[in-house]
């Protein structure tokens, strides 16, 4: 279980856990859409099972964004006692910065949700 969580957080292939799902040359917080490989270059595991497979990843991305918005709102408004307008713009700023992070990890989480490990 620990290796599963570790490989998920690192964005590795769920089957071989060696190669990255996304192009490693791109950072997490760049404002460009990360490029995703179609298959693992190590074990040929196909990431997109069928056309439209990643439609469900939008719901995961939405859940990540809501959790981030709530966390930042609580931090800015209740803990740091910032005015509501500053809190609003702070949340918008972090939403923009974390958009590629959410895109990447929503797809990784979606792949891992539907991965069935082959038994020997």
CA-nearest of 20, 3, 16, 1 to 108 is 20
Work out the mean pLDDT of the chain and round it to a whole number: 87
- Span 16-49, pLDDT tens digits: 888 989 876 665 556 677 888 889 988 999 998 8
The pLDDT > 70 percentage for the chain reads 91
pTM confidence score: 0.83
């Amino acid at each position: 279980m620990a290796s599963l969580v570790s490989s998920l957080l690192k964005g590795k292939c769920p089957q071989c856990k060696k190669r990255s799902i996304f192009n490693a040359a791109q950072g997490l917080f760049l404002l460009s859409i990360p490029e995703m490989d179609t298959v693992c270059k190590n074990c040929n595991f196909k990431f997109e099972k069928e056309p439209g497979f990643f439609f469900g990843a939008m719901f995961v991305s939405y859940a990540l964004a809501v959790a981030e918005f709530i966390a930042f709102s609580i931090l800015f408004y209740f803990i740091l006692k910032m005015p509501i307008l500053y809190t609003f713009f702070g949340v918008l700023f972090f939403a923009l910065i974390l958009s590629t992070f959410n895109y990447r990890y929503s797809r990784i989480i979606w792949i891992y949700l539907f991965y069935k490990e082959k038994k020997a």
